[in-house]
Amino acid sequence: MTAHPAPTAPLRERRFPRVRGEPHGAARFTSLVIASAVLLPIATILFIALSGSGEAWPHLLRYVLPQSLGTTLLLLGLVATGTAITGVGAAWLVVGYDFPLRRLLSWALVLPLAVPTYLAAYAFGEFFHYVGPLQTALRAVFGFESARDYWFPDIRSTWGAALVVTSVTFPYVYLTTRVVFLMQGRNIADVARTLGARPARVFFRILLPVARPAIVAGLALVMMETLNDIGAVEYLGVRTLTLSVYSTWLNRGSLEGAAQIASVMLVIVFLLLTAEQWARRKQRFHSARGTQMHVRPPRLRLAGLKGWLATGVLSLPILSGFGVPLFVFGRYVSRRLYQFADPQVLQAFLTSVAVAGVTALATVIIALLLLNAMRLSRSAYTMGLVRLASIGYALPGTILGLGLLLSLAAIDNAVDQAARAYGGFSTGLLLTGTAASIVIACTIRFLALAESAIRSGLEKLPPNLDQAARSLGKTANQSAMAILLPLLKPAILTAAILVFVDTVKELSATILLRPFGFRTLATHVYENASRGVVEDGAVAALLIIATAIVPVILLSRPLMRDHNT
Amino acid sequence: MLTNKLIAARTGLAALVAAGTLAATLPAAQAEGTVNIYSYRQPFLIEPLLDAFTEKTGIETEVLFLDKGLEDRIAAEGSNSPADVILTVDIGRLMNAKEKGVTQSVEDETVNSEIPSEFRDPEGHWFGVTTRGRVVYASKERVDQDTITYEELADPKWKGKICMRSGQHNYNIALFASMIAHHGEEKAEEWMKGLKANLARKPSGNDRAQAQAIYAGECDLGIGNTYYVGLMINNEKEPEQKDWAGAMKVLFPNSQDRGTHVNISGMAMAKHAPNRENALELMRFLGSAEAQSIYAETNYEYPVLPGAEVSETVQSFGEIKPDSLPLADIAKNRKAASEMVDRVGLDDGPAS
């Protein structure tokens, strides 16, 4: 089916016309090189999986997979529902209506992105625990004496994990959906309204279908983030596939078996991505003119109580995804303020920023190259490669890191051997002995984020811009540099910021791959938390959140420019 | 276009600065007079030990904290690995390192004289430096008895009263492996089913969370390591944790018969250790009276050196009688224990 065609400016176009007569061997070649580099760790994992004997499978099939697959799917379903409702609902309110504190809330809704799931899980565990502030207050109010006097939902459950993951990942859906609502939703919505449609009808019949590709893109990111999470599910005792990967590998000493389960996860990801493609099929909405991105029709005003109700409802996800972690870690930090002067913490902060900066830059460049190859050659081959290049995001960081470690170390050792044989000197471990491996790992991991953010920007551009430039004599590359790149600036910025934030939060691959003396904020927290002394990592935890907030606010700024003109 | 060039120049500059910062953070890992440690033990935990070592010998230390995949990383690095010494916890991980071929044999008189033979590999591939008991935390208020056995945890009288962390955690796996070694797989599985039926809630959190749960009244018994209690009692920053520890007593299971299950933290020499002499120096030091007492005081573990004192806090729990089952027998049964946890569905909690 196709969505209701927009009566005004937005027009539907199948795709960028493929340019004939120009050789695109270079673009193809670039995409091939990049994709194979990105696929290196995944291929390594698959290779390990295939080298295994499969002796673990009778056990896995009987006792592990049915249960953990079920739990994983339930978790995915709950998180998908939760993030879709929260993200889309918030975007709809913020874009279409005016109510108290709207502008503040519109960017504060992005803040939960700054909180890594492993910290959120811990914070929720403490906050909702018997000795936590909520239950203590309940007991004080109602006069309960012990846990046996009343019922309280257990956060250490699949539902609890879904709440935690939803709370910190819904901004992905919020961000992608909001852009669509901002850019064209309101024009169409206004037309529908003037024709007499009620708000609910406008929302379900017009806005939702128009935003579907964006919602699905956001959801795909959320799903992959849920799949790769280990911190939250481990802490909350939820037996997902990811957890089974670890117990097979570490407790039964079977890396092959672990790689085989990871391969099962890749199949799920592949299905997810296919579903995403399917949901986006034939759905392309472009603005007709570039200027349209800046013209905003007025919002509907919610007066009085209704307005405050909207304010209250929108504060809930912020309180949950940002307020709770801030509260829990803030309390620990208040007893450890001196740690801010700790040179180790400071060094970890600088390292985090440097690694995240380099990674963001590298990832965005690679994503642009891939998308350019896709724009020039829409063959199934190129498309397939680009798709494949983004599945690294869904693998648990340690598994991806391990695949990368094994392949990079093999390269390192081969180079070293060659240097010894022919040059008589040793190069040592060029990649795995330095921070290069971490940048590579994070780039591969977060390529999906950058690719998705830039692609959705690219798809919103009217294709006739590119066509016009080329018909005026520019080559495909000149057109890309002079016309598309400047117009894509907001999308590129978004991509860079998302990658930056996720790299600051990244833990498991960094732990596995880092060289001596290399400490990021996340590893600093973990060094403390892994012994059960999370409190001592609280300052670094808060710094992670703070480091991530700055770019998150930057991210909101271009989106803030939706004031009435 | 001018602006484009400007942007390009700016990005380039940013990249250079960032790369420079990165390069600055890279230390010289193979300098003279150092020893490189790949550690599963947290840096701040071994820091006082390493400081004392450097002061005594002049040898600098570099520590890389790694949890999952420590052995895999050394194996991948091959002969270029900078690792000299591996520090880790749990007998299973030590044996795994040996099996993976990332360790080498050490025959040193000093080390062997410090560490009793039951705590080291007969071929010298690994050495235990501390032990920790897997004990039962019991509510002072709700549990009258002062002795307990692991077997008793499956007794229906505890129905809905026991809390523990994930059965797949290596501390629990080692405990279950010891049950298999003592009773055989069939009986151990019966026992585990009983334990599952007695759980108050789904296994989750860490050992400390079990103490918290006892304080909260969610359960009467918890399974945990001894040193967590020490950490809680002496937590000056979060005094509420003293209350948690105060609500419970430490019971050493099976103290009347075979003794309490203990696990070790240990060390091994990496196969391609580039600084072998320094590494050996460190290993000798970690077994010495000085290092052993630091271990005991800072992390409330039991030293392996005969005659070394435990900390006052740990003394207050009472005397521990360690199970004399050879560590190798525990390691051997880990896989079976891990599979049993899945089979019984221990981590699903009491309901199913």
CATH architecture of B132-261+319-348: 3-Layer(aba) Sandwich (3.40)
B82–chain A nearest CA distance, Å: 9
> Is some CB atom of chain A closer than 8 A to the CB atom of B67?
yes
Query: Which pLDDT band holds residue B51 (cuts at 50, 70, 90)?
Result: very high
Query: Which pLDDT band holds residue B10 (cuts at 50, 70, 90)?
Result: low
Give the count of beta carbons closer than 10 Å to the beta carbon of residue B269: 26
> Is some CB atom of chain A closer than 8 A to the CB atom of B16?
no
Residue B163 reports pLDDT greater than 90: yes
pLDDT value at residue A243: 82
Query: Which pLDDT band holds residue A485 (cuts at 50, 70, 90)?
Result: confident
Token digits of residue B158? 């505890």
> Is some CB atom of chain A closer than 8 A to the CB atom of B173?
yes
pLDDT value at residue A92: 87
Is A509 in contact with A397 (CB distance < 8 Å)?
A: yes
Q: Name the residue in chain A with its Cα closest to that of B92.
A: A251
Between CA A357 and CA A538 the distance in angstroms is 23
CB-based contacts of A488: which residues, under 8 Å, 6+ apart?
A454, A457, A458, A461
pLDDT value at residue A303: 81
Contact (CB<8Å) B201/A252: no
Least confident of A13-27, A133-147, B153-167, B242-256: A13-27
> Between chain A and chain B, how many beta carbons pairs sit less than 8 Å apart?
195
Contact (CB<8Å) A429/B77: yes
Contact (CB<8Å) A335/B238: yes
Closest CB to B208: pick one of A146, A335, A532: A532
Percent of chain B with pLDDT over 70: 90
Contact (CB<8Å) A130/B67: no
Test mutation, A128, A531, A535, chain B, max B CBs within 10 A: A531
Query: Which pLDDT band holds residue A284 (cuts at 50, 70, 90)?
Result: low
Give the count of beta carbons closer than 10 Å to the beta carbon of residue B42: 20
Indicate the average pLDDT of chain A: 80
Q: Tell me what the mean pLDDT of segment B12-32 comes to.
A: 47
Q: Name the residue in chain B with its Cα closest to that of A360.
A: B15
∠ Cα A19 A21 A24 (to 5°)? 70
Indicate the average pLDDT of chain B: 87
Q: Name the residue in chain B with its Cα closest to that of A528.
A: B42
Residue A358 reports pLDDT greater than 70: yes
Contact (CB<8Å) B21/A247: no
Closest CB to A516: pick one of B18, B36, B348: B36
Between CA B176 and CA B343 the distance in angstroms is 13
DSSP designation for A400:
H
Between CA A32 and CA B92 the distance in angstroms is 43
Contact (CB<8Å) A247/B168: yes
pLDDT value at residue A177: 86
Query: Which pLDDT band holds residue A245 (cuts at 50, 70, 90)?
Result: confident
pLDDT value at residue A497: 87
Contact (CB<8Å) A130/B29: no
pLDDT value at residue A531: 61
DSSP designation for B308:
P
Q: Which residue has the higher pLDDT, A131 or B297?
A: B297
Which value, to the nearest 10 degrees, does the dihedral of the CA atoms of residues A353, A359, A365, A366 take? -170
Closest CB to B66: pick one of A243, A482, A511: A511
Q: What does DSSP say about strands A285-286 and A11-12: parallel, antiparallel, or unpaired?
A: antiparallel
Residue B208 reports pLDDT greater than 60: yes
Q: Which residue has the higher pLDDT, B61 or A302?
A: B61
Q: What is the rounded end-to-end Cα distance, in angstroms, of chain B?
A: 68
Burial class (CB in 10 A: 0-12, 13-18, 19+), B157: exposed
Mean pLDDT comparison of A21-35, A537-551, B48-62, highest-scoring range: B48-62
Tell me which residue of A173, A194, A7 sits closest to A91, measured CA to CA.
A173
Between CA B308 and CA B306 the distance in angstroms is 6
Asked if the A24-293+338-559 domain carries CATH number 1.10.3720.10, the reply is yes
pLDDT in tens, A79-135: 999 999 999 999 989 888 889 998 889 888 988 988 888 889 888 988 887 777 888
Contact (CB<8Å) B206/A532: yes
Residues of B within 8 A of A253 (CB-CB) are 96, 99, 335
B113–chain A nearest CA distance, Å: 30
Between CA A163 and CA A471 the distance in angstroms is 52
CATH for B34-130+262-315 is: 3.40.190.10
Q: Name the residue in chain A with its Cα closest to that of B240.
A: A131
Test mutation, A238, A250, A415, A521, chain B, max B CBs within 10 A: A250
Query: Which pLDDT band holds residue A298 (cuts at 50, 70, 90)?
Result: low
Token digits of residue A20? 């004939």
Contact (CB<8Å) B166/A237: yes
Contact (CB<8Å) A361/B15: yes
Q: Which residue has the higher pLDDT, A156 or B76?
A: B76
Token digits of residue A322? 């940002």
Contact (CB<8Å) A354/B25: yes
Domain locations in chain A as residue ranges:
24-293+338-559
Query: Which pLDDT band holds residue A1 (cuts at 50, 70, 90)?
Result: very low
Helix, strand or coil for residue B263? Answer: strand
Contact (CB<8Å) B4/A481: yes
Global ipTM: 0.78
Instruction: Tell me what percent of chain A is helix, strand and coil, each rounded to the nearest 5.
Output: 75, 0, 20
B64–chain A nearest CA distance, Å: 5
Q: Name the residue in chain A with its Cα closest to that of B36.
A: A516
| B320-to-B1, B136, B205, B328 alpha-carbon distances in Å | 77, 12, 26, 21
Least confident of A278-292, B17-31, B318-332: B17-31
Q: Which residue has the higher pLDDT, B18 or A186?
A: A186
Residues of A within 8 A of B67 (CB-CB) are 511, 530
Residue A264 reports pLDDT greater than 50: yes
Is A559 in contact with A182 (CB distance < 8 Å)?
A: yes
Contact (CB<8Å) B27/A517: yes
B106–chain A nearest CA distance, Å: 24
Interface of B with A in 30-49 (CB under 8 A): 30, 36, 42-45
B168–chain A nearest CA distance, Å: 6
∠ Cα A73 A168 A538 (to 5°)? 120
Residue A388 reports pLDDT greater than 70: yes
- Please tell me the total number of residues recorded for chain A in this structure: 565
A74–chain B nearest CA distance, Å: 15
Tell me which residue of A110, A173, A246 sits closest to A553, measured CA to CA.
A110
pLDDT value at residue B343: 92
Strands (E), A149-293: 285-286
Token digits of residue B59? 């040898």
| B328-to-A86, A147, B72, B90, B120 alpha-carbon distances in Å | 53, 42, 21, 11, 10
Between CA B282 and CA B298 the distance in angstroms is 19
Q: Which residue has the higher pLDDT, A254 or B166?
A: B166
pLDDT in tens, A228-239: 888 788 888 888
pLDDT value at residue A30: 77
Alpha helical stretches, state H, chain B = 2-24, 43-57, 70-77, 91-99, 109-114, 170-183, 185-198, 207-216, 226-233, 240-246, 276-286, 289-299, 312-315, 327-332, 334-344
Domain locations in chain B as residue ranges:
34-130+262-315, 132-261+319-348
Tell me which residue of B214, B211, B221, B198 sits closest to B351, measured CA to CA.
B198
Q: Tell me what the mean pLDDT of segment A415-442 comes to.
A: 86
pLDDT value at residue A514: 87
Q: Tell me what the mean pLDDT of segment B10-37 comes to.
A: 56
Tell me which residue of B296, B273, B264, B327 sits closest to B118, measured CA to CA.
B327
Residue B15 reports pLDDT greater than 60: no
Least confident of A271-285, B240-254, B267-281: A271-285
Contact (CB<8Å) B76/A410: yes
pTM: 0.81
DSSP designation for A114:
G
Contact (CB<8Å) B334/A252: yes
Q: Name the residue in chain B with its Cα closest to that of A252.
A: B335
What is the gyration radius of the CA atoms in chain A, in angstroms?
A: 24
pLDDT value at residue B280: 95
pLDDT value at residue A386: 74
Query: Which pLDDT band holds residue B2 (cuts at 50, 70, 90)?
Result: very low
pLDDT value at residue A14: 43
Residue B31 reports pLDDT greater than 50: no
Interface of B with A in 217-276 (CB under 8 A): 217-218, 228, 231, 237-238, 240, 244
Query: How many Cα atoms sit within 13 Å of A143 on the Cβ side?
Result: 0
Between CA A555 and CA A494 the distance in angstroms is 6
Helix, strand or coil for residue A144? Answer: coil
Residues of A within 8 A of B201 (CB-CB) are 154, 156
Closest CB to B216: pick one of A130, A350, A398: A130
Query: Which pLDDT band holds residue A311 (cuts at 50, 70, 90)?
Result: very high
Give the count of beta carbons closer than 10 Å to the beta carbon of residue A298: 10
Contact (CB<8Å) B237/A335: yes
> Is some CB atom of chain A closer than 8 A to the CB atom of B141?
no
Residue B239 reports pLDDT greater than 90: no
Contact (CB<8Å) A426/B80: yes
Closest CB to A429: pick one of B66, B68, B80: B80
Is A35 in contact with A318 (CB distance < 8 Å)?
A: no
Is A500 in contact with A391 (CB distance < 8 Å)?
A: no
Query: Which pLDDT band holds residue B25 (cuts at 50, 70, 90)?
Result: very low
Helix, strand or coil for residue B265? Answer: strand
Interface of B with A in 190-209 (CB under 8 A): 201-209
Strands (E), A396-515: none
Residue A285 reports pLDDT greater than 60: no
Q: Name the residue in chain B with its Cα closest to that of A526.
A: B42
